[in-house]
Amino acid sequence: MNRRLAPTLVKGTVLASLIAVVGMKAYAAGKAAASDLEPVRSLDLERYMGTWYEIARYPNRFERKCAGNTTATYTAMPGGRVKVENRCRLDDGGTDVATGVARLCGPEGSPRLKVRFAPALLSFLPPVWGDYWVIDIDRNYQLAAVSEPGRDYLWILSRTPQVEKRALDALLARLSGQGFDMRKLVYTPQEETA
């Protein structure tokens, strides 16, 4: 094989694979759009900003290396976008950090956002943007649940590392009523900080 042609063929194969994955994700996203999952009525994005502790989640590939102390920090950016910083403790004591950006879908107050952790260079591709729907939040913005139309992902977030049992049980009952399987939840170890 021509040595000059080989890198071009490899790039072409990678590009073709990426296009195939994008097509499959777009098809799946179209199917998920018919979901009956309802987010909260409205979201005060300014009140939502700040750090949230992950209390529990559905298992997912993004966090398979996380051993605990998982947080999500949201910071308002110019133009209505939101910086998203997810961090967790690894088994070896190190820290994993993933930084992304979110954008509102719909009018101000919409609880539906799109989030991406892919490089900005790929932001024009719809499949790099994942659904981020706030599906439950208390009046004081202290306890929330986040998912997406297909119910494949679920996160329970709190402003504090520990949640009162009664409040958590009530949230779990509401989520169960929305079709989520509470047996799939993995609870996140959170150490109290001084």
pLDDT digits (tens, 9 = 90+) for 86-115: 999 999 999 999 999 999 999 999 999 999
- What's the pLDDT at 27? 38
Task: Please report, as a single letter, which amino acid is at residue 157.
Answer: L
Round to whole Å and give the CA distance between 179 and 154: 11
* Portion of the chain with pLDDT greater than 70, in percent: 76
SS (H, E, C) 149-168: CCCCCEEEEECCCCCCHHHH
Question: Poorest-confidence range of 1-15, 65-79, 89-103, 150-164?
Answer: 1-15
- What's the pLDDT at 35? 76
Round to whole Å and give the CA distance between 81 and 116: 11
Please state the pTM of the whole predicted model.
0.79
- What's the pLDDT at 176? 97
